[in-house]
Chain A
Amino acid sequence: MSSSEFLESKKPLQVLEKIKESLERLNEKMEIIIELQKHGQRDAQAIPSEAPLDVMTLLSMPDHLRKTAMAVCRMGRATAEEVAQQTKRARAVESAYLNQLVIMGYLKKERKGRKAYFYIEK
């Protein structure tokens, strides 16, 4: 099916949702690239894949990341949407912070269908 056929076969709302979803994924990828540049690394291999998210680590984090990390600690496993509900910040903001925490090795990320779940590996 060509893209024009796809567009014709779907309702406008579904098309918009599809675009939104693609933009969100693109945004996540950009965040990862930005974060990797900050670390001055060429690839993710050099960054520790796993770091314990204990209270001393939480204390030494910048305030904005601590708030996100604490919400995941409380929920155990959560989407950016669920974290945003707890922290009362925008979903896109939480998505950026959660991905940062994944790159830093504190959180793990798992995709299930359209949703991305963030959790702490015990």
Chain B
Amino acid sequence: MGKIVAVHSYKGGTGKTLISLNLAVTLAKMGKKVCLMDLDFRAPSLSILLKIEKAQYWLNDYLNGSCEIDKVMIDLSLRIAEKDRFYVCPANPSIEAIRDITARDRKWEMRALGRLLFLRNALLKDRAFDYVVFDTSPGLQYSAINAIVAADIVLVATTLDSSDVEGTRMILHGLYDLFEKKAEIVLNKVTFLDSVRVGREKLQKMVKDVYSAPLLEAIPCFCEISKAEGKNIFVHEKPDHPFTKIMYEMATKIEKL
């Protein structure tokens, strides 16, 4: 059976959406059947990045119990890979929808967790998806914790910013450990580019010492990514870029987890 991967972080701006979108596309290009879900309901981005202007149903509607997941899934396979490989479930980006989801009570969140847990059967078992990738909101928000509980693997995107390091340490032990989740560190925006390649073992030891969690991948700080302004799917547009190569390495490692 396939796997559910949640991409989470303590702080915002660590590259969760960049990593989840490019990882999902990379897996699809490798021939896997992938569904990418936008679980950042307070600041949805997939609809904008993938230029999905109108949708009959959003992921919000699925969690509300107003429709089944099939109605939300948009097939974007032909944009990046062969048929039946890449599906997306965007979150509703309208201000009303963001307001609406922010005001939900605990009982609603409990039902939403049940709906997310149900995806294991609905997508991995019944529809033979190899991967479901959750792009989550940062920190300890309901939607993010629901996603973590429903996931098999949590990729923790983090930078070397000191507040991010401390916060990440906190959630590793106060969140993922409590739910017995396998957490893997993705160190993003690493500025000492050479050390990433040359001193990989050293970096791995450093991460292990600081976080007591394994380093899955280190991604250097690439100006080309900022320059692209989120207007394209990077790994698709730039197949020979070092970032794309790192995404393929990361996807291969995830396969083996």
Name which of B111, B178, B180 has the most chain A CB atoms within 10 A of its CB. B178
Q: Is B30 at the interface (CB under 8 A from chain A)?
A: no
A57 vs B178: C-alpha distance when bound (angstroms): 12
- Bound together, the chains give a CA A8 to CA B87 distance in angstroms of 65
Least CB distance, A64 to chain B, in whole angstroms: 12
Asked if B149 contacts A55 (CB within 8 A), the reply is yes
Please indicate the chain A residues that have their CB under 8 angstroms from the CB of B106 in the complex. 52, 54, 56-57
Whether A122 pairs with B111 at a CB distance below 8 angstroms is yes
Is A73 a contact partner of B114 (Cβ separation < 8 A)?
A: yes
A71, chain B: closest CB distance, angstroms: 11
Interface centre among A54, A56, A70, A76 (most CB of B within 10 A): A54
Contact A120 B149 (CB under 8 A): no
Q: Are A66 and B114 in contact (CB under 8 A)?
A: no
- Measured between beta carbons, the chain B residues less than 8 angstroms from A57 are 106
Chain A residues with Cβ under 8 A from B107's Cβ? 52, 54
CB-nearest residue of chain B to A75: B117
Cα separation A52 to B180 with both chains bound (whole Å): 21
Classify chain B's interface size: 10 to 19
> What is the minimal beta-carbon distance from B229 to any residue of chain A, in angstroms?
35
Interface centre among A53, A55, A56, A122 (most CB of B within 10 A): A55
User: Taking CB as reference atom, which chain A residue is nearest B178?
Assistant: A59
Q: Is B132 an interface residue (CB 8 A)?
A: no
A17 at interface (Cβ–Cβ under 8 A)? no
Number of A-B residue pairs having CB atoms within 8 Å of each other in the complex? 46
Given contacts A58-B149, A59-B145, A74-B117, contact A52 B175 (CB under 8 A): no
Question: Known interface pairs A55-B145, A56-B145. Does A70 touch B179 (Cβ–Cβ under 8 Å)?
Answer: yes
B215 to chain A: which residues have CB within 8 Å? none
Given contacts A59-B145, A59-B175, A70-B149, contact A53 B117 (CB under 8 A): no
A5 interface contact, C-beta 8 A: no
Indicate if the CB atoms of A53 and B175 lie closer than 8 Å. Answer: no
- B175: which A residues are within 8 A, CB to CB? 59
B111/A73 in contact, CB under 8 A: no
Contacts of A56 in B (CB 8 A): 106, 109, 142, 145
The answer, yes or no, to whether A43 is at the interface (CB within 8 Å) is no
Say if the beta carbon of B113 comes within 8 Å of chain A: yes
Interface string of B167-207 (1 = CB under 8 A from A): 00000000100111000000000000000000000000000
Cβ contact within 8 Å between B109 and A54 = yes
Q: Is the CB of B20 closer than 8 A to any CB of chain A?
A: no
Q: Are B149 and A73 in contact (CB under 8 A)?
A: yes
CB within 8 Å of A: which residues of B? 106-107, 109-111, 113-114, 117, 142, 145-146, 149, 175, 178-180
The 8 lowest CB-CB distance pairs between A and B, nearest first, are A55-B145, A54-B110, A52-B106, A54-B106, A52-B110, A52-B107, A54-B109, A53-B110
10 contacts between A and B (CB under 8 A): A53-B110, A54-B113, A55-B113, A56-B109, A66-B178, A66-B179, A73-B113, A73-B149, A76-B114, A122-B111
The interface of chain A, by Cβ under 8 A from chain B, is 52-59, 63, 66-67, 70, 73-74, 76, 120, 122
